[in-house]
Amino acid sequence: MTVKLLIRLLPCLLVLGFGAAALPGGSTQGLWNRERWLWADGGEAVRQRLGAALVAAYFVVEWLWGTGELAAQKLLALPEIPELWDTVGTTLIGCLVLAKVLFASRYSGRQLLVSVGLCLWFAFSHMVTGYDPIANSLCAMLMLKDVDLRWSLSWLSGSIFAKLAAHLALIGAGVFTAGWAERWETGRLRADLQFGSVNFLGIALAQMAILWLALRPRFKLWHLLPFGAVLVFIQQVPDCRSAVLIGLGFAVLLVLARFLPRLFAAKPVRALLCLAAPLVAAFTWALSLVYDKDNKVMAAVDFVLSRRISLAYNTFGMEKLYGNQYFFFGQAFIPDGFYRVDNSYIYYYYLCGPIMVALICLGFVLLTYRLLKQGDLSLALAVAMFTVYAVMEHCLSPGLNMTLYLMPIALYPHAEFALTLQPKAPPKEERSLT
């Protein structure tokens, strides 16, 4: 099942499933606010266990399918047919997403409207652009509804670690090569460990470390030792500056939150965290338009952001940007043209149109606000750092942006099964007895 077919079928199947469950005899009682399993009520315990299993399988396939493909080609001398392997992998992921969304998630009428609207917009954007990561990001945003958040994120972090361990073991056994190559700016050697690229390896490990630190029940300073070791590994092996930057930024914010809790309880600071995405977008857009390499401040900001400002400036000033009559809603994806700009706030403006950029910023704002409101400060700080990382890499890709998996918190703020790291409150009857 290709992603193209999946995102076109999903809105129709959601409506059909909700209608089958909500209108068995023409009743509309509680249609708007009451959450229902799709197709038929009942089997809640089984469906929740099924949902957890599907999420775990999704993360395993998402992160380890490529490893298995490469290992099979090396060990079994199988032919290299990327199209076949990719089709099988996307079919597996598509089936897992469909099963989770249609059989192991609950929706109220309000939530169904949000889900269908999101699916229709992403399907339309995919139709215009032909850009598959748009569909992959939609799947990621819908997966974690009605599944324990801590458990799910632990599976995500564990899957990344399993991929790293498998690659290191296969490199040690001589099956894989480390992929050492010189960095063109400095001549320094760096390796991708067969992850596909050094930047992908760097951000994958940074996400693993950030999740590990964010999921600690109580943050302690010694937790920074293994976290720092991962950042040193990122600096020494893939030499990925952007991944190290967000890792260090997250650690600094977490330490400040540990020792200055009142600072992060202040409304101005919380507002700044919530508005990080639109502020970063406006700042980098403006700087990219007026960039001057002889200005020391601009050059320093450009260096910190891995040369993304000067790259966008050169594209604006020296190269023709692609465009056609569908510009407001995006345009056909052309690899040679679009990969010249990595800043998500600029990249998706030209690829998908200004509406998509506005939705990206809105998603970051709502997600940070909801996380702060429900007390998940560590995840809110991680989201704030990923608004900065979006300047350096494309954020509509689950492998590069773990915050996509947190989007049910923003999309379904009043869900009966709250996605939070906070301890679940006991039922009302139990609280009254105690």
DSSP symbol at 31 = T
199 and 242 Cβ atoms separated by less than 8 Å: yes
The reported pLDDT for the residue numbered 27 is 52
Query: What confidence score (pLDDT) does residue 227 get?
Result: 96
**pLDDT at residue 251, as a whole number:** 96
Its pTM stands at 0.91
**pLDDT tens digits for the chain (434 residues)?**
566 677 778 888 888 888 777 766 545 566 788 888 988 878 888 999 999 999 999 999 999 888 888 888 888 777 767 677 778 888 889 899 999 999 999 998 899 999 999 999 999 998 888 888 888 899 999 999 999 999 999 999 999 999 999 999 999 999 888 888 877 666 788 999 999 889 999 999 999 999 999 999 889 999 999 999 999 999 999 999 999 999 999 999 999 999 999 999 999 999 999 999 999 999 999 998 899 989 999 999 998 888 888 888 887 765 555 544 447 787 877 765 555 688 999 889 888 889 999 999 999 999 999 999 999 999 999 999 999 999 998 898 899 999 999 999 999 988 888 888 887 654 444 343 33
* Residue 175 burial by Cβ neighbours in a 10 Å radius (0-12, 13-18, 19+): middle
Look up residue 141 and give its two tokens: 């945003």
**DSSP 8-state symbol, 38:** S
Q: Could you tell me which residues come within 8 angstroms of residue 351 by beta carbon, excluding any fewer than 6 positions away? A: 129, 131, 330, 331, 333, 338
Question: What radius of gyration do the chain's Cα atoms show?
Answer: 22
The pLDDT value given to residue 31: 78
